Amino acid sequence: MRFDYAWLRSALGDGPKRLVVGLGLMVLPVAAFIPPPEPLKLPPAVPTPNQSSRKMADPRIERLKAFFSRLHCPVSNLADEFVQAADENHLDWRLLPSISVIESGGGKAYKNNNIFGWGNGTKGFESIRLGIREVAYRLGRSPLYRGHDSAGKLRIYNPDTRYAQTVLTVMNRISPNPRSVAYAIQAN
């Protein structure tokens, strides 16, 4: 003997089906009167005495904008993106902008939204912002680069013996002492 849906239906008839429909019709009017939940209301944030009502400008962003402006770099409006990507990936905030200056003149000459010469300049990105994000992620988190300081990352990035020193020179032109700027941020 086969036990399948057709056998079960013939054995039970339409009784269970009618029972389910009847219960559903009785519950429906009750469910219609349940009020929707109240939206969550959070108390307004109270600033601490050390916080001002306006967000303080990050001095690294201002310094980077000024540097890019002096060189007439088209990516000067992306200074905040460079700093944020560096912070998220534990990189020196001057590294990515310096590579972009060496590889593309800070966005003056590039193709495929690749201002870093990533992948020998053949890698394409959907946008320059996404290129900044991806290169920062790779330099900060890839096993190939992880655990190396900026000079070590640069020697892997481009094995030419002069490349690392050239990028480090640009980094020092952006800010000779990056820690003094970082400490200013932490103090605010």
pLDDT at 22: 62
Q: Summarize the confidence of residues 42-63 as an average pLDDT.
A: 64
pTM (whole model) above 0.85? no
23 pLDDT higher than 80: no
Q: How many CB atoms lie within 10 A of CB 123?
A: 15
Task: Categorize the per-residue pLDDT at 57 as very low, low, confident or very high, splitting at 50, 70 and 90.
Answer: confident
Q: How far apart are CA 91 and CA 104, in angstroms?
A: 20
Contact assessment for residue 89 and residue 140, using Cβ atoms and an 8 Å cutoff: yes
7 pLDDT higher than 80: no
Q: Tell me: the pLDDT tens digits for 64-79?
A: 999 999 999 999 999 9
Task: Categorize the per-residue pLDDT at 161 as very low, low, confident or very high, splitting at 50, 70 and 90.
Answer: confident
> Helix or strand or coil: residue 111?
strand
